[in-house]
Chains A and B, each alone.
Chain A
Amino acid sequence: MRSRRWMRVVTTPSGAVAVALLVLVIGLAILAPIIWGDAASEVNDSAPVQGPSSAHWAGTDALGRDIFYRVLVATRLSIELAVMASLLGVVVGTVVGTAPSVLPRWAGRWVSSAVNIAVAFPSLLLVLFFAVVFGVGTTGAVLAIGLAFAPGFARLTQTLSAAVVGRDFVAAARVAGVGRLRILVRHVLPNIGEPLVVNATINAGQALLAFAGLSFLGIGVQAPSYDWGRLLGEGLTQIYVNPAAALAPAVAVVIAGLAFNLLGETAAAVIGVRTGPTRSGPLPATPGRDEPIDASGDQPVLAVENLHVAFPRDGRWATPVRGISFAVRPGEFVGVVGESGSGKSVTALAVSRLIEHPGVVTADRLDFAGVPMLSTPERELRPLLGTSLAMVFQDPTTSFNPTRRVGRQLAEVAEQHQDLRRGPALARAVDRLRAVRIAAAERRAGQYPHEFSGGMRQRAMIGMGLMGTPKLVIADEPTTALDVTVQGQILRLLSEVRAETDAAILLISHDITVVAQTCSRILVMYAGRIVEDLPAADLTRTPRHPYTKALLAVVPDLATDREQPLVAIAGRPPAPEQIPAGCAFAARCPLADERCRTDDPALVQVAQLHRVACWHADDQHDQGTMG
């Protein structure tokens, strides 16, 4: 698996270029001194300092030696020294960097403090320092560059291993009695190996450049030996007479440096973030299957028909939402419930038009307050959505901008959409904070989000939605990140908002009990489809879909029989890019038969305000009433 990933590095265009360059450079390093070694040191007194000619492609130096051959021959020494120096740096750096996790705490602290001071200094300064200590010359330069690179590498090793050490599997190994050294070897090093190798590669490139610089300054390789840096230094003195003398070694350094850097960067990109392939082909069109929404009664505040959401993934389309239809009427409190991956949060983002490229949203109808949202340009939608559609997100900690005051973040809405100036907008923000019962609202408005507690941030988020006059509040798992004792307060606040403003609320939750006790109507989602749509009052009495029943049964409560095993649903939901044919729940359903595995049931009306997508909805219901 690992080797396959490294193969992927080679098959990217930049990776292929890098590998080709590296092969070229290494080949030259091995062969050039053998083939051109003599030609490069042949002194020719009759032709000193000449420009390029057919005999001497890059001209000659002060002693009439052929510069082109000298550049080729210098490859070996340049690469050798760079590799030696970077190996030294990597070895010393890795040892020093991993030392804190093996040494006793106090010793580890000393080591990391020393590293911290050392990394503050640019490596070239350290190189100069060590060059003085070790004396001018090749050995001194290798030691200097190697040691100068060590602190940076140590810091990297330290940071990476600290991240690994903080994870629970290391804690588990410690609990199991695994010793520190063994943890380092078995758990830490394998998990930081790849980034270390990548960085060592980049380091080799840097060492090459550093060496060239050092020799260029005259501190590195001394005559009669020569590397690219030395040739460059000599070439610069005759740049007016023969520019090629300086340019040829410069090009060599750049190519070799690029080979290392490019290889490292490409490897880092491939190993780090997987940027999926670009083209996923056209999105297949899918006709609507669910029964259209009942058109009678008030105009719905949100009307959705045959909504699909797709994301390209590994050359295919993953469809977390697969054709759902529902409506939310003014003042209604609708709950959407389902497990993680059921598509409920994606639905929330899609109906509020917050799905971003490369995600694709399609629908036969997606109307908010009578305005078709998919065909109206975003610019025209902004004032409407900004004042009438409020969003409350799951994690109130990350959903506020950490660097701006809470009051200003609320006021922004009024400044943008209600043409209020700074002062009045802020006054409105304070008023809204008060409306969501935040004590000392004036003072709180001047604070930053981190000064709020989780529950209070969520209140402020609701307050932000109340800056306009919302017709719909979409709350996506608003209580999941909060403590149980605070959850009730937030749900109650949402109910109050509905009662006071007559806004409809769409509450998304994984917790069927939360939805059951707050909402008037419930949509149950499974694998991107609505499988049941029923009034909350019927949830415990007449659920029809086996999944709804299972969801109700699996949640233990304070009356669960302690002597019986808990109910569980076998198996797990299908991944959004691997939806089976037929009913997606069939594999986990006790009632599934042949038809369930081949034909996907549509969501159809079975009773007043009650829709179910199940081939067995009726038999079960009969069974239910009989039993």
Chain B
Amino acid sequence: MTAELSSPGRASAAQGLRNPWVAFLIRRLSWLVVSLWVVVTAAFLMIQLVPGDPVRAALGTSAPAELVQARRESLGLDDPLPTQYWNHLRSVLTGDFGTSMTTDLPVSQLVGDRLPTTVTLAALSFVVIILIAVPLGVTIAVLTRGARWRGGELAFTSASVVVAAIPEFLLAVGLVYVFAVTLGWFPVAGGDGMGAWVLPVASLSIGPAAVIARIVRVEVLAVLGQDFVRTARAKRLPPWRIYARHALPNALTATLTLTGLLLTGLVAGTVLVENVFALQGLGSTIVQSILQKDYPVVQGIVLVYGALVLLVNLVVDLVLAALDPRSTIREA
């Protein structure tokens, strides 16, 4: 009797720890912290690993030695390595990313200015990709299921391979040529309003949309081949209901896993597209900074990109866990 009953207080405390969601969150968040630490450390090491003297490289060989020395001191490059690392960690935690070597502006301000462009570009493209890819993939899957319509399947897969082989910056060049240079519908670079976004978003979206549509198709076909779909057919549900209720939700769970990769890929894609369209985002800024050897800015942007990527992965994992009933571990 006594062995079976535990006191209520202890029970609820244990309940909290035993709650699968709490355990999952703790595990996932600690993973995030570790990954962030890796990013911060990598950003620190990046400057240390630059061959030669980064300040000399940045200021050029003609710069007077006193200036170089002053810069080195202001960057703390002459301190012992552990001290530098410690200072780096501390300033990152307080949001201080240093000062640009070329513009003398705080890096945090620079990043703050440029971030919205990049995020807008990536977010718009993401929405466009999902809106195109999911319906397309599902439709093609339904039309080509069970070795039906081989011609359509061949055309779709070939087209998607070709489209996926064109990187976003080439697509951007092609779109600029057709729609900006030849037709003159949209500006080549810069410009205001929604029109300015059309070509960048299109060049970022088309390739990933083809890839995602293909994956959605494969996933839907895989789900359609599963036993529970046969059960649904045995229940004599009309086809639309089988697709909408049984196939699609399961296929989307599998597809969702990929959206993490897609989103992080988009973050990277913005680098090139921003350069083609001369958008003032993080991507064009990091490239300029690399060329100008403005290391504090590069470091800051690498940190922001890294954090963005980790954040996206975290959100995707949480959404996945929330959607899939199997991930909520059974109660005792």
Contact = CB atoms under 8 A, between A and B. Distances in A.
Direct contact between A and B in the complex (CB less than 8 angstroms)? Answer: yes
Interface in B224-283: 226-228, 230-238, 241, 245-246, 249-250, 253, 264-265, 267-269, 271-272, 275-276
Nearest to A276: B147
A11 interface: no
B230 A393 contact: yes
A258 interface: yes
Which of A122, A218, A275, A354: most chain B CB closer than 10 A?
A122
A253 B170 contact: yes
- Which range contains the number of B residues in contact with the other chain? 35 or more
A134 B50 CA distance: 7
B166 A257 contact: yes
Contact of A247 (B173, B226, B302): B173
Contacts of B140: none
A122 B181 contact: no
Interface stretch (A208-216, A489-497, A592-600): A208-216
A6 interface: no
Interface string A242-267: 01001100100110011001100100
B204 to A, nearest CB: 13
Contacts of A356: 146
Contacts of A417: 236
B235 A219 contact: no
Contacts of B90: none
Interface stretch (B8-16, B112-120, B305-313): B305-313
B290 A136 contact: yes
A135 B167 contact: no
A120 B264 CA distance: 8
B80 interface: no
Given A123-B268, A254-B170, A382-B236, A403 B165 contact: no
B237 A416 contact: yes
Contacts of B158: 14
A412 interface: yes
Interface in A355-400: 356-358, 379, 381-383, 385-386, 391, 393, 395, 398-400
Interface string B284-305: 0011001100010010001001
A239 B181 contact: yes
A217 interface: yes
A261 B164 contact: yes
B235 A416 contact: yes
Nearest to A405: B325
A254 B166 contact: yes
A398 B228 contact: yes
B135 interface: no
Which of B148, B150, B169, B330: most chain A CB closer than 10 A?
B169
Contacts of A404: 245-246, 249
Interface in A155-175: none
B176 interface: yes
Interface in B130-182: 145-148, 150, 157-158, 161-162, 164-167, 169-170, 173-174, 176-177, 181-182
Nearest to B227: A398
B167 A209 contact: yes
A126 to B, nearest CB: 9
Contacts of A246: 173, 177
A367 B326 CA distance: 41
B173 A412 contact: no
Contacts of B228: 398-402
B236 A386 contact: yes
B264 to A, nearest CB: 5
B202 interface: no
A430 interface: no
Given A136-B291, A239-B188, A395-B227, A275 B147 contact: yes
DSSP majority for the B interface?
A: helix
B51 interface: yes
Nearest to A410: B235
Nearest to B252: A403
A357 B147 contact: yes
B298 A132 contact: yes
Contacts of B267: 122, 125
Contact of B264 (A122, A128, A240, A243): A122
A566 B42 CA distance: 68
B290 A132 contact: yes
A254 B162 CA distance: 9
A124 interface: yes
A301 to B, nearest CB: 17
B33 to A, nearest CB: 12
A416 B193 CA distance: 49
A417 B330 CA distance: 33
Contacts of A219: 287, 290-291
Interface in A406-443: 412-413, 416-417
B75 to A, nearest CB: 15
DSSP majority for the A interface?
A: helix
B38 interface: yes
Given A247-B173, A254-B166, A278-B150, A391 B290 contact: no
A626 B324 CA distance: 66
A128 B302 contact: yes
A36 interface: no
Given A122-B267, A129-B42, A133-B46, A239 B235 contact: no
Contacts of A133: 46, 49-50
Interface string B74-105: 00000000000000000000000000000000
Contacts of B181: 239-240, 243
Interface in B1-54: 34-35, 38, 42, 46, 49-51
Nearest to B249: A403
B38 to A, nearest CB: 5
A451 interface: yes
Nearest to A264: B161
Contacts of B271: 124, 128, 217
B230 A399 contact: yes
Contact of A254 (B50, B165, B276): B165
A398 B226 contact: yes
Given A120-B264, A354-B234, A403 B253 contact: yes
Nearest to A244: B177
A122 B238 contact: no
A413 B250 CA distance: 20
A117 B38 contact: yes
B161 A416 contact: no
Interface in A128-162: 128-129, 131-136
Contact of B235 (A243, A258, A413): A413
A247 B230 CA distance: 51
Given A14-B158, A136-B290, A386 B235 contact: yes
Contacts of A448: 325-326
Contacts of A461: 231
Interface of B: 34-35, 38, 42, 46, 49-51, 145-148, 150, 157-158, 161-162, 164-167, 169-170, 173-174, 176-177, 181-182, 188, 226-228, 230-238, 241, 245-246, 249-250, 253, 264-265, 267-269, 271-272, 275-276, 286-287, 290-291, 295, 298, 302, 305-306, 309-310, 313, 323-326, 330
Interface of A: 14, 117, 120-125, 128-129, 131-136, 205, 209, 212-213, 216-219, 232, 236, 239-240, 243, 246-247, 250, 253-254, 257-258, 261-262, 265, 269, 275-276, 278, 352, 354, 356-358, 379, 381-383, 385-386, 391, 393, 395, 398-404, 412-413, 416-417, 448, 450-451, 461, 464
Given A236-B176, A265-B161, 18 more contacts: A121-B306, A122-B265, A122-B267, A213-B169, A216-B169, A219-B291, A232-B170, A236-B276, A247-B174, A254-B166, A261-B161, A265-B157, A354-B230, A357-B147, A358-B148, A402-B250, A416-B237, A450-B325
9 contacts: A239-B177, A240-B181, A243-B181, A250-B170, A250-B174, A258-B165, A262-B162, A395-B227, A401-B231
6 nearest CB pairs, A to B: A386-B236, A122-B268, A124-B268, A398-B227, A391-B234, A357-B146
